Amino acid sequence: MKIGIVGLGLIGGTIAKALNTKHNISAYDISNESLSYALKNQIIHKAYTNLHLFLQENEVIYLCLYPNSLINFIFENKVFIPKNSVIIEISGIKQHIISSVEQLGELEFEMVYSHPVAGREKSGVWFSDKDIFSKGNYVITPTKNNNETTLKLAEKLAKEMGFNNISYVSPKEHDDIIAYTSQLTHVLSISLVNALSTNLDTSRFIGDSYRDLTRISMINDTLWSELFLYNRDALLEQINHFRVQLDHIQHALLMNDKENLMNLMQSSTQIRQSIEEGKTHDR
């Protein structure tokens, strides 16, 4: 298949690396540096500088852009995308993207909205790595405009990329869940690191726990501020759920309530173990 990638960053580059043995991969990017690196390292087969030609010559196009650029790209180029093209976007939020694209009116091509639940604390094609996808989760949020065959194609390509589980959920469910599993997680990591007091020399005290919890505080601020703001209500709701739990621990500490503390710890142990074992939590 002829597959094109718009936005040759960490994820775009990783998609290219994961698919380039089975398919003919080309890319379009505003950065010549990324394109020439990818060509030189045989990550892609062809680099386009002419966007219209790129859009004409590919059957499937992955849009690997930040939310704002993504919507802008479709707005500016919708008339140049051929009728039978499949456009797959891979951003971390869904409702905002889908409603924005729907406001552009009827489209002749077919949009697939999906989310490879994977990433790294680095950006750029230089850090692309097939391992990022390996055994991961790929979520597709179908809309009424999707054909079954197109969804099956997106699913097949995700499997070829190395994803283990491909799931279908509604855009709202996606955004609600991702607000908890991903966005809240990043909020906590950022806040933990920013809470470091200047008067503490922690350097000799850093253990694996702190290292693991703060790894994702090294964050792409352009991308993540968009993700946070376009999923604001769901994220704020999750922050409130978290605060309730933090209040429980704080209260137990204030009251010297050992039993309650132990209960909270037993609860988290049990829930986390169910997740580890792949069970659905039983609360």
Residues 179-238 that bind a second copy (CB under 8 A): 180-182, 184-198, 200-210, 212-222, 224-226, 228-229, 232, 235-236, 238
Considering only 11-19, 20-28, 71-79, 273-281, which stretch makes contact with a second copy by CB under 8 A?
273-281
Confirm or reject binding of residue 122 to a second copy (CB under 8 A): no
Among 223, 240, 187, which Cα is nearest to 69's? 223
Q: For 149, how many CA atoms within 13 A lie in the half-sphere containing its CB?
A: 3
State in Å, rounded, how far the first CA of the chain is from the last one: 46
Pick one of 31, 50, 165, 170: the residue that binds a second copy (CB under 8 A).
Answer: 165
The residue (of 42 and 191) whose beta carbon lies closer to a second copy is 191
Query: What is d(CA 282, CA 232) in angstroms, rounded to the nearest whole number?
Result: 28
Pick one of 106, 146, 167, 170: the residue that binds a second copy (CB under 8 A).
Answer: 167
Q: Which two tokens stand for residue 240?
A: 């409130």
Confirm or reject binding of residue 79 to a second copy (CB under 8 A): no
Query: What is d(CA 137, CA 178) in angstroms, rounded to the nearest whole number?
Result: 12
The residue (of 26 and 189) whose beta carbon lies closer to a second copy is 189
The residue (of 69 and 238) whose beta carbon lies closer to a second copy is 238
Query: What is d(CA 6, CA 54) in angstroms, rounded to the nearest whole number?
Result: 9
Q: Which two tokens stand for residue 155?
A: 């699913």
Considering only 54-62, 96-104, 154-162, 250-258, which stretch makes contact with a second copy by CB under 8 A?
250-258
Sheet containing 24-28, strands listed edge to edge, beginning at the edge strand earlier in sequence = 46-48, 24-28, 2-6, 60-63, 86-89, 110-117, 137-140, 165-168
Cβ 4 to a second copy shortest distance, Å:
26
Considering only 6-14, 99-107, 143-151, 240-248, which stretch makes contact with a second copy by CB under 8 A?
240-248
Considering only 27-35, 43-51, 74-82, 176-184, which stretch makes contact with a second copy by CB under 8 A?
176-184
Confirm or reject binding of residue 72 to a second copy (CB under 8 A): no
Residue count of the chain: 283
**Residues 27-66 vs a second copy: string with x where CB under 8 A?**
----------------------------------------
Query: What is d(CA 232, CA 185) in angstroms, rounded to the nearest whole number?
Result: 14
Considering only 18-26, 40-48, 70-78, 174-182, which stretch makes contact with a second copy by CB under 8 A?
174-182
Confirm or reject binding of residue 109 to a second copy (CB under 8 A): no
The residue (of 84 and 240) whose beta carbon lies closer to a second copy is 240
Residues 143-162 that bind a second copy (CB under 8 A): none
Q: Give residues with Cβ within 8 angstroms of 90, minimum separation 6.
A: 11, 15, 62, 63, 64, 114, 115, 116
**Residues 14, 41: contact at Cβ < 8 Å?**
no
**Residues 84, 105: contact at Cβ < 8 Å?**
no
The residue (of 79 and 244) whose beta carbon lies closer to a second copy is 244
